[in-house]
Amino acid sequence: MAFLITYPEEKVPAASQRELAQVAQPLYIPLRHLQAVAISSEDRQLIENAPYVVVTSPFALKCLLDQFPATTITGTVLVLSQKMAGQLKQHHFDRVRIAETESQAGLQPLLAQVPGHDVVWLRGNLSVKHNLLTIFPDIQTVQLYRNEWNADLMAQVMALIGQHRITRVLVTSPSSYQRLTQIMRQLPQNFDVQRYYTLGSSTQNVIQADHNAAFCPAKRQGVLVQSLHQMYLDEKQS
């Protein structure tokens, strides 16, 4: 029996890893390959001069920190979590604001206070379809990375799953769920999923629309730890 965690193992707190290992074998297999893309000079100027820069994913933050020294960003950076804010502070970004809750919904009150054309959202190629920021139609966007998936990546994941029988799955995004369903169709004998676990309502809604049970943390801070702990509790009580 195994749990599939579609999140990088090195980013999962050690305490959560130890807890899961008490009840099952965790398989840490992200269903994605993230790749930074080239930024045009126009987009670079847009990011540098925007009054507000929105960062909603860890990889978008990595791209920002890799390519833009703090001295080049004139505006305020809006992020989802204290952890992301801490990374910015380490790189000498002084103008940082944190969402009320650790989700895109938590950014909405902040964004409602400023003109949309003053905001630049740093995103990936798959970020638009399921995001909650489209209620602000004037927000400008810049793509910093690609979230890739192909037959070779799928084959690698299937090889890692091997002969494991997976009963619980942490799904980190709607795109990860779509990729997971592709794998499940290829390896039906490996999956007997009792419940899915998510980090936010967008992914939960997609899974529930597929008539599957999905947990979403009630508290919007520390969502990864909450979902993994619920996975542990559910298995322990089963």
Written as one string, the DSSP assignment of 14-58 is HHHHHHHHTTSEEEE--S-EEEE----HHHHHHHHH-SEEEE-SH
What the block records as the tokens of 14 is 């050690």
pLDDT reported for residue 68? 97
CA distance linking residue 219 with residue 225, whole number of Å: 11
Distance of CA 80 to CAs 97, 126, 164, Å? Answer: 9, 18, 34
Q: What is the mean pLDDT of the chain?
A: 93
63: domain CATH number is 3.40.50.10090
Half-sphere exposure of 7 (CA within 13 A, CB side): 24
Per-residue pLDDT, averaged over 19-38, amounts to 96
Residue 140: its pLDDT value, please? 92
Do 92 and 182 reside in the same domain of the chain? Answer: no
At residue 232 the predicted structure's pLDDT band, cuts being 50, 70 and 90, is: very high
* 76 and 182 together in one domain: no
> Are 159 and 33 spatial neighbours (Cβ–Cβ below 8 Å)?
no
pLDDT at 205 over 80: yes
Domain span including residue 220: 2-32+149-237
Is pLDDT above 90 for 106?
Answer: no
- Residues 99, 102, 108, 114: what is their CA dihedral angle, to the nearest 10 degrees? 20
Answer whether residue 2 shows pLDDT above 60.
Answer: yes
In this structure, are strands 140-148 and 33-36 parallel, antiparallel, or unpaired?
antiparallel
User: Are residue 78 and residue 183 in the same domain, yes or no?
Assistant: no
Q: Mind listing the pLDDT tens digit for each residue in 44-92? A: 999 999 999 999 999 999 999 999 999 999 999 999 999 999 999 999 9
Judgement on whether residues 111 and 134 belong to the same structural domain of the protein: yes
Number of domains in the chain: 2
Nearest to 187 by CA among 207, 158, 210, 212: 158
